[in-house]
Structure 1
Amino acid sequence: MLSNRLLSAFTLMSFIALSGCSDQTAVEDTKQDTTAKEAVTTEPVVTASTDAAETEKSAEEAEVVVEENPPRFANITDSLALKPNAEWSWDTLASTPDIQKWDPKTPTKNEYTPEDPSYYIWGGLDDHGGVSAYGTKDKPVLIKINSGQGVMEDETGSAVYKTEDLFRANELTRVKSNCDTEEDGLFSQQFYKWQKPGYQPLYVYAITDQANAGTSSDVGIAKSFDDFFNLDYSNALINLRALDAEGNSVTCTFEL
């Protein structure tokens, strides 16, 4: 009997000891779990203000600067500018924006002057003028933008295109020539270098002619001044004069 009591007491004490170990293990597990949760909650949190700041930064980076008061026909001339080593083609010129109507749209010879070797296309810009391109059958060589207005409509010729209607002032550089005329004369002729940033330089002549019937203007664009005086295009550029200040025929020279 005594041995049975001793065995029961020993069993009870063993159970209590095991229970104590179990409780300690549970406490340790609880502490580890709490530590893990604390570690999770210490991770950095992206706040709404951070998101807003990033969104604002992206919006600023994507902001597009809109040009104020661009030239009236900037879309036209911008499309004519040539990247380095590029050439005009009849197809690309026929895709010039803001053309109201092409006539013709494919390179054609002038049927009224069969001796003229050049080909051309022409597109209207408005009721007062348009864009022409002249060249060989393979490619255009020069561009002409011309306009005119009769004196009965407006004796000041306000609708006639000026250089500032076509080009940004900071992209044009005046080129002195022995074929220049006075700017305020009834007939004026000047020459320019046109240089858009990132594009190759092109060369420009600008003519304004104030006659009894009205006012007209011609603006030519080419890769070289020599192209303007090529005899193949003399009919197209009939208003361009190779004359000095005294009216003598000369070979035009340019101070580049």
Structure 2
Amino acid sequence: MTRRTKAAVLGSPIAHSLSPALHRAAYAALGLSDREYGRYEVDEAALPGFMERTGPGWAGLSLTMPLKRAVIPLLDEVSDTAASVEAVNTVVFTEDGRRLGDNTDIPGIRAALHERGMTGVEHAAVLGAGATASSALAALAPLCTGEVTVYVRSRARAQEMRNWGERLGVAVRTADWADAAAALHAPLVVATTPAGATDDLAGAVPQAPGVLFDVLYEPWPTPLAAAWSARGGKVIGGLDLLVHQAVFQVEQMTGCDRAPLEAMRAAGQAALAGRRV
């Protein structure tokens, strides 16, 4: 039986990814000296060819944009979690050569919230309407007892998010991005937008903010996160999400019962600090 020791992160662009640092730190802490984890620039057009070249020595893949939906037709099975948002960020290769797709972003978001004491909330706000926003809705489904307001820039996106809410069992109300400052008064705010998109909101942070979950990890802190912390609010960052979702990936790709969360977090922090020097 061929040992499955190879894994990698795929995406485009990919040079910024911290996944190699996290996974390699996990392998070192677990004593898996024969494991290797790479990083490959792969876009949607190149993905089928790359998948065909993954031989029996491959254990799994981490996927980032723009591959999370493009990979689905190439898989043999997709988990209910991934199917719920039509997005796969994890592929595991089985001993018999099957390709299994999963989404660890959703439990990763939930685990990051739980780590900071967020086990339930009456209502929440989500900034943005992309793939991460739909994953955030799925993560909030068992945690939020009331309405989630999603702030979007277009009517089409608004309809998409209402559709996701209906599908995921979340009461979703949509609001125009021009009114996004109102979101900051929610007890939980999840910012899923690209770098720079929320910078103008930093001046609107209320005097006693709740919890901000900003999915960015570079640059960090974002102006919104910095202003939030300055007002005494609790901030969860993108590195928290990245580490928690990677924990689930390591466990699936290696078969270990418990991935080394703190070793992976330290590796991510060190990698980011090295970029700022």
State the TM-score bracket (shorter-chain normalisation).
under 0.3
Say which structure is richer in strand: 1
TM-score (norm 2): 0.21
The structure with higher relative contact order (CA 8 Å, sep 6+) is: 2
Structure number with higher helix proportion = 2
Q: Could you state the TM-score of these two structures normalised by the residue count of structure 1?
A: 0.22
Larger radius of gyration, structure 1 or 2?
A: 1
